[in-house]
Amino acid sequence: MTALTGPHRAALIEATVAEFAAAGYEGASLNRILRAAALSKSSFYHAAGSKAELFDAVVRALVDDVRAVWVVPDPAGFDAPDFWARVDSALAGFAALAGEPALAMLGRIFYLPAQDGTARTEVLGAVRSWVAAVLAAGRSAGAVHADLPIELQTAAVFGLLRGIDEWALSGDADAAEGARAPGILLRRMLGVG
Amino acid sequence: MTALTGPHRAALIEATVAEFAAAGYEGASLNRILRAAALSKSSFYHAAGSKAELFDAVVRALVDDVRAVWVVPDPAGFDAPDFWARVDSALAGFAALAGEPALAMLGRIFYLPAQDGTARTEVLGAVRSWVAAVLAAGRSAGAVHADLPIELQTAAVFGLLRGIDEWALSGDADAAEGARAPGILLRRMLGVG
DNA sequence: CCCCTACTGGACCAGGTGGTCCAGTAGGCT
DNA sequence: AGCCTACTGGACCACCTGGTCCAGTAGGGG
């Protein structure tokens, strides 16, 4: 019922994020989280109604953190001749917050398929339609190919970025290469000319 | 110990694949599999030593199915001026076996991160280095950009294909568009000129 | 001071997990 | 026939999961 209130909120979110990092979103154990947060079951169920609500609250908290650092650009602004320059600067702004591990994790949370009704699907849908709107603006600016469905292009963008991200995380990756790769590859994949 | 032998092999693999489809690789329940295969615990542990061995055997069986239908092209053959035509025909050959749902599932199994030592990591590594070898051949043929690490390009290929695959699976996807997308997008993303 | 509400600790629950153990039994070999 | 091995059924195990319940207790308002 209550959507995670009270003094334990911060500790609970922190412990949950750590658990996500260790065991993934699906594999996260409520018992482990409570143990880490030094909180009893009953206290937890008093503050947050269920495991699902906890997870939703955490997702929302992470999203808020991101939006506090990175103001999401209006897709309409991308309908301009310098479309790709604007994409580059948006990517640069976004890359700036990749430093904070808690925020980088938000991305990882969305890598798994989610069932409807959760905050994840909601946020993921919002991000997805934002990307689609940006692509649509790029199309009217003549900067983005229009010979494939825009939803397909959106999915390709997500997949590509995820692939780059996973490479960047796995061992022998050069951070500088990882930072410039999205701009280069997205432009080649989608850009006209 | 034994790597899944005996008369139950077929039924066990079938039930396991069905369970993978229903609950995912990680969420697959051994008990459900045994119930579906009408096999008792002791019989199972006699035939296959553990859940992990079952999963390995199933992965290997699916891989064998794929290799029976699609002969993996030698990467060396891609070092040619018509590199992208060869990629297209390889993609077409691979798309032909997307019809069989059990085989399509193999891909989905590899979407999740795997810990070392399992057949999944082994096969995934093999596929990954095959793709890297093809890309290297494309580079020497002058058909593939060489301004980014080849491992990064490989990761980008995996991500892109996964993104397209997920789009193709989710509802309102046009199968024809989904079939021609990989060739188009891979070439734009990686191709020179 | 008393009471009432908000909160807390911890025992407890049903149901699931992968895995073990042992008393059988069926089938081929000698 | 006798035996020995390969297999089977099912009870049982420890441990984990998310969730419930209840007897408290701390703290602020009347």
Pick the closest to residue B163 from A131, A144, A116 (CA basis). A131
| Angle of CA points B21, B109, B165, to nearest 5° | 85
Q: Shortest CB distance from B155 goes to which of A149, A151, A164?
A: A164
Pick A143 or B94 by higher pLDDT.
A143
Per-residue pLDDT band for A183 (boundaries 50, 70, 90) equals very high
- Nearest C-alpha in A relative to B187: A189
Backbone angles phi, psi at B10, to 5 degrees: -60, -50
| DSSP per-residue string spanning B30-63 | HHHHHHHHT--HHHHHHHBSSHHHHHHHHHHHHH
Q: How far apart are CA B30 and CA B18, in angstroms?
A: 12
List chain C nucleotides near protein: any atom < 7 Å from a Cβ: 7-12, 16-23
Judge whether B22 and B107 are in contact, CB under 8 Å: no
> Amino acid identity, residue A142?
G
Instruction: Give the CA-to-C1' distance from B52 to C19 in angstroms.
Output: 12
Q: Work out the mean pLDDT of chain A and round it to a whole number.
A: 90
Q: Work out the mean pLDDT of chain B and round it to a whole number.
A: 90
* pLDDT tens digit sequence for B23-59: 888 889 999 999 999 999 999 999 888 999 999 999 9
> Amino acid identity, residue B137?
A
Contact A159 B157 (CB under 8 A): no
Pick the closest to residue A47 from A34, A60, A29 (CA basis). A34
Chain B partners within 8 Å of A188 (Cβ)? 145, 188-190
In the 23-42 segment of chain B, residues within 7 Å (Cβ) of strand C are 28-32, 41-42
Judge whether B25 and B18 are in contact, CB under 8 Å: no
Q: Which segments of chain A does DSSP mark as H helices, in order?
A: 9-27, 30-37, 41-47, 51-69, 83-96, 101-109, 119-140, 150-169, 175-190
> Crossing angle of helices A9-27/A30-37, nearest 10°?
150
> Amino acid identity, residue B61?
A
* pLDDT tens digit sequence for A2-13: 467 777 888 899
pLDDT for A50 beyond 70: yes
Residue A99 touches partner B, C-beta closer than 8 Å: no
- pTM of the predicted protein model: 0.90
Pick B94 or B19 by higher pLDDT.
B19
Residue A108 touches partner B, C-beta closer than 8 Å: no
Q: Please enumerate in sequence order all residues whose Cβ is within 8 A of that of A155, keeping only pairs 6 or more positions apart, or say none.
A: B163, B164, B166, B167
Measured CA distances, A11 to A30, A54, A120, A183, B68 (Å): 14, 12, 21, 37, 53
Residue A174 touches partner B, C-beta closer than 8 Å: yes
pLDDT of residue B50: 92
Q: How far apart are CA B91 and CA B56, in angstroms?
A: 26
- HSE on the CB side for B81, CA within 13 Å? 0
Pick the closest to residue A112 from A100, A124, A101 (CA basis). A124
Chain A partners within 8 Å of B152 (Cβ)? 164, 167, 173, 177-178, 181
> Amino acid identity, residue A146?
A
Residue A125 touches partner B, C-beta closer than 8 Å: no
Q: Shortest CB distance from A156 goes to which of B155, B158, B164?
A: B164
* pLDDT tens digit sequence for A98-142: 777 777 788 888 877 777 778 999 999 999 999 999 999 999 999
Per-residue pLDDT band for A1 (boundaries 50, 70, 90) equals very low
Residue A92 touches partner B, C-beta closer than 8 Å: no
Measured CA distances, B46 to A70, A120, B97 (Å): 57, 42, 34
Measured CA distances, B143 to A128, A191, B88, B89, B185 (Å): 32, 18, 13, 16, 14
Q: Please enumerate in sequence order all residues whose Cβ is within 8 A of that of B84, keeping only pairs 6 or more positions apart, or say none.
A: B143, B183, B187, B191
Chain B partners within 8 Å of A174 (Cβ)? 149
Residue A27 touches partner B, C-beta closer than 8 Å: yes
Measured CA distances, B135 to A123, B157, B191 (Å): 35, 10, 10
* pLDDT tens digit sequence for B120-154: 999 999 999 999 999 999 999 999 999 999 999 99
pLDDT of residue B2: 47
Contact A167 B151 (CB under 8 A): yes
Contact A164 B149 (CB under 8 A): no
Lookup: tokens for A78? 């991308």
Pick B138 or B112 by higher pLDDT.
B138
Judge whether B37 and B90 are in contact, CB under 8 Å: no
pLDDT for A150 beyond 50: yes
